[in-house]
Amino acid sequence: MEAHQHSPDSSSEECTVLEAPPGKNTCPQHAGKVADLYCSVCECALCEDCVLEHEEHPKVPLGQALEQHRCRLQERLGAVQNRYESRLPQISDALSFVKEILQQLTNQRASIEEDIQSSFEDLHKQLDVRKSVLLMELEVTYGLKQKVLQAQIDNLVRGEGDITSTCTQTEEALAGEACVASLQVERELEERLIELARFRLSCQPEENDQLDLVMETDGLRKSIHNLGTIVTTSAVASQSEAMGAGLEQCIVGHPASVTIVTRDKSGGACKSGNAILSAEVFTPDGSIVDGEIVDHKNGTYEFVYTVPKEGDFSLALRLYDQHIKGSPFKLTITKVLEAEVEVSPSTTTATNSAANATPSTGSSEGAKRRGKSPGQKKKGSKRASSALGTPRRKTQNPIEDDLIFRIGTKGRNKGEFTNLQGVAASSSGRILIADSNNQCVQIFSNEGEFKSRFGVRGRSPGQLQRPTGVAVHPSGDIIIADYDNKWVSIFTSEGKFKAKLGSGRLMGPKGVSVDQNGHVIVVDNKACTVFIFQLTGKLITKFGSRGNGDKQFAGPHFAAVNNNNEIIITDFHNHSVKVFTPEGELVLKFGSNGEGNGQFNAPTGVAVDINGNIIVADWGNSRIQVFDGSGSFLSYINTSADPLYGPQGLALTSDGHVVVADSGNHCFKVYRYLQ
The pLDDT value recorded for residue 588 is 95
The pLDDT value recorded for residue 7 is 41
User: Which of the given ranges, 216-220, 393-397, 588-592, has the highest pLDDT on average?
Assistant: 588-592
The pLDDT value recorded for residue 423 is 98
- The partner residues of 279 in beta bridges, in order of sequence, read 317
Structural contact between residues 297 and 273, judged by C-beta atoms closer than 8 angstroms: yes
The pLDDT value recorded for residue 466 is 94
The answer, yes or no, to whether residue 379 has pLDDT greater than 60, is no
Integer CA distances (angstroms), 382 to 293, 377, 595, 599, in order = 34, 11, 10, 9
The pLDDT value recorded for residue 188 is 87
Rounded to whole angstroms, how far apart are CA atoms 633 and 384? 9
The pLDDT value recorded for residue 348 is 34
C-alpha angle 443-448-453 in degrees, rounded to nearest 5: 20
User: Among 276-290, 345-359, 601-615, where is mean pLDDT lowest?
Assistant: 345-359
Phi, psi for 99 (deg, rounded to 5): -60, -40
User: Among 21-25, 34-38, 416-420, 594-598, where is mean pLDDT lowest?
Assistant: 21-25
Rounded to whole angstroms, how far apart are CA atoms 227 and 215? 19
Rounded to whole angstroms, how far apart are CA atoms 383 and 631? 11
The pLDDT value recorded for residue 337 is 38
The pLDDT value recorded for residue 226 is 85
The pLDDT value recorded for residue 385 is 32
User: Among 98-107, 318-327, 485-494, 594-603, where is mean pLDDT lowest?
Assistant: 98-107
Q: How many CB atoms lie under 10 A from the CB of residue 553?
A: 30
Dihedral of alpha carbons 50, 52, 58, 64, sign = positive
Rounded to whole angstroms, how far apart are CA atoms 225 and 221? 6
Report the helix count and the strand count for the chain, using DSSP H and E: 8, 37
Which tens digit of pLDDT belongs to each residue from 245-255? 888 778 888 88
What residue type is assigned to position 491 of the chain? Answer: F
Rounded to whole angstroms, how far apart are CA atoms 94 and 559? 40
The answer, yes or no, to whether residue 1 has pLDDT greater than 70, is no
Q: How many CB atoms lie under 10 A from the CB of residue 637?
A: 26
Phi, psi for 290 (deg, rounded to 5): -75, 155
Which tens digit of pLDDT belongs to each residue from 82-123? 877 777 788 888 888 888 888 888 888 887 888 788 788 888
Integer CA distances (angstroms), 210 to 115, 133, 141, 153, 438, in order = 43, 19, 10, 18, 67
Rounded to whole angstroms, how far apart are CA atoms 423 and 441? 10
Q: How confident is the model at residue 312 (pLDDT cuts 50, 70, 90)?
A: confident
Rounded mean pLDDT, 492-515: 94
Q: Strand 249-251 relative to strand 329-334: parallel, antiparallel, unpaired?
A: parallel
Between 297 and 282, the higher pLDDT residue: 297
Q: How confident is the model at residue 495 (pLDDT cuts 50, 70, 90)?
A: very high
Rounded to whole angstroms, how far apart are CA atoms 593 and 210? 62
The pLDDT value recorded for residue 352 is 37
The pLDDT value recorded for residue 393 is 36
End-to-end Cα spacing for the chain: 117
Q: Is the pTM of this model over 0.85?
A: no
Rounded mean pLDDT, 442-464: 94
The pLDDT value recorded for residue 23 is 58
Dihedral of alpha carbons 368, 374, 378, 384, sign = positive
Rounded mean pLDDT, 395-410: 70
The pLDDT value recorded for residue 369 is 33
Rounded to whole angstroms, how far apart are CA atoms 671 and 656? 9
Closest CA to 27 of 9, 10, 39, 11: 39
Which tens digit of pLDDT belongs to each residue from 174-213? 888 888 778 888 888 888 888 888 877 788 898 999 989 8
Q: How confident is the model at residue 483 (pLDDT cuts 50, 70, 90)?
A: very high
The answer, yes or no, to whether residue 17 has pLDDT greater than 60, is no
The pLDDT value recorded for residue 675 is 60
Q: How confident is the model at residue 308 (pLDDT cuts 50, 70, 90)?
A: confident
The answer, yes or no, to whether residue 674 has pLDDT greater than 90, is no
The pLDDT value recorded for residue 437 is 92
Integer CA distances (angstroms), 577 to 188, 263, 345, 571, 588, in order = 87, 38, 33, 6, 8
Q: How confident is the model at residue 286 (pLDDT cuts 50, 70, 90)?
A: low
The pLDDT value recorded for residue 590 is 96
User: Which of the given ranges, 199-208, 227-236, 559-568, has the highest pLDDT on average?
Assistant: 559-568
C-alpha angle 103-300-574 in degrees, rounded to nearest 5: 105
Q: Running DSSP on this structure, what letter comes out for residue 665?
A: G
Q: How many CB atoms lie under 10 A from the CB of residue 488?
A: 25
User: Which of the given ranges, 32-46, 284-298, 439-453, has the highest pLDDT on average?
Assistant: 439-453
Helix (H) or strand (E) holding 104: helix 88-175
Between 152 and 523, the higher pLDDT residue: 523
SS3 (DSSP) at 459: coil
The answer, yes or no, to whether residue 434 has pLDDT greater than 70, is yes
Closest CA to 643 of 334, 376, 367: 376
Helix (H) or strand (E) holding 192: helix 180-198
Total count of residues recorded for the chain: 675
Q: How many CB atoms lie under 10 A from the CB of residue 149?
A: 14
Q: How confident is the model at residue 624 (pLDDT cuts 50, 70, 90)?
A: very high
The pLDDT value recorded for residue 22 is 52
Integer CA distances (angstroms), 470 to 147, 166, 347, 464, 512, in order = 59, 87, 37, 12, 6
Which tens digit of pLDDT belongs to each residue from 358-378? 333 333 333 333 333 333 333
Integer CA distances (angstroms), 369 to 363, 373, 604, 639, in order = 11, 11, 17, 18
The answer, yes or no, to whether residue 269 has pLDDT greater than 70, is yes
**For all residues of the chain together, what is the average pLDDT?**
83
Rounded to whole angstroms, how far apart are CA atoms 435 and 376? 30
Rg (CA), the chain: 42
Distance of CA 283 to the CA centre of its chain: 26
Burial 493-530 (b: 16+ CB within 10 A, else e): beeebeebbbbebbebbbbbbbbeeebbbbbbbbbbbb
User: How would you list the strands of the sheet with 420-425, edge to edge?
Assistant: 420-425, 430-435, 440-445, 450-454
Q: How confident is the model at residue 442 (pLDDT cuts 50, 70, 90)?
A: very high
Give the orientation angle of helix 180-198 with respect to helix 88-175, to 10 degrees.
Answer: 150
Closest CA to 545 of 584, 589, 577: 584
